[in-house]
């Protein structure tokens, strides 16, 4: 595969170039906790994806993905939410989004609660309300909406991969839930 161009006007790296970059540089990502809110802005549901991991295991996951070269964070959030939740999800991303936390994923387990065997990644984490119809897309097998209490259940948290259970609990705490 040779260089591909993106809608942002930047270029994507070939698989070999990306692997080489991952061995040398932290990569910027976004993690998103999609939520449904009522008319008062109170979170009523948290959306979690079901994905097949690289090891073949089926695990729950947050919306997540890399920020491309020359891409604004807001555009990356929109792109990944559409990629995972579909074009009718209608996310409500503020004009100047602020992450609720920053998560560092390391290839070495135990450095932080977050683990990515491929790379050192720095992820900006957001809670984003969605108003439209969501349907799993691409490699997402299913989207399940949990109440905040259900999302905190140890069985649900155990299904999340790469330490994202910690990120989900931080999001719920950030929301005062």
pLDDT at 91: 96
- The architecture in CATH of the region 26-174 reads Alpha-Beta Complex (3.90)
For residue range 26-70, what is the model confidence (pLDDT) as tens digits? 889 999 999 999 999 999 999 999 998 777 889 999 999 999 989
Cβ distance 77 to 30 under 8 Å?
yes
pLDDT at 146: 98
pLDDT at 7: 42
Ramachandran region, residue 115 (left: φ > 0; alpha: ψ -120 to 50; beta: rest):
beta
Domain boundaries, the chain: 26-174
- pTM recorded for the entire structure: 0.85
pLDDT at 1: 31
Residues of the chain whose pLDDT is less than 50?
Answer: 1-9
**What's the CA dihedral at 40, 137, 86, 22 to 10 degrees?**
90
């Amino acid at each position: 595969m040779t260089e591909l161009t993106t809608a942002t006007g930047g270029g994507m790296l070939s698989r070999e170039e990306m692997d080489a970059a991952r061995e040398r540089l932290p990569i910027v990502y976004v993690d998103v906790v999609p939520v449904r809110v009522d008319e008062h802005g109170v979170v009523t549901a948290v959306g979690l994806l079901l994905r097949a991991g690289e090891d073949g295991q089926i695990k729950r996951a947050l919306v997540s993905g890399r920020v491309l070269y020359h891409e604004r964070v807001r555009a990356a959030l929109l792109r990944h939410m559409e990629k995972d939740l579909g074009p009718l999800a209608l996310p409500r991303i503020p004009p100047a989004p602020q992450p609720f936390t920053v998560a560092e994923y390391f290839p070495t387990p135990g450095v932080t609660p977050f683990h990515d065997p491929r790379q050192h990644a720095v992820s900006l984490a957001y809670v984003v309300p969605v108003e439209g119809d969501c349907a799993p897309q691409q490699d997402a097998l299913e989207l399940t909406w949990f109440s905040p209490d259900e999302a905190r259940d140890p069985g649900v948290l155990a299904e999340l991969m790469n330490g994202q259970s910690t990120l989900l609990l931080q999001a719920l705490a950030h929301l005062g839930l």
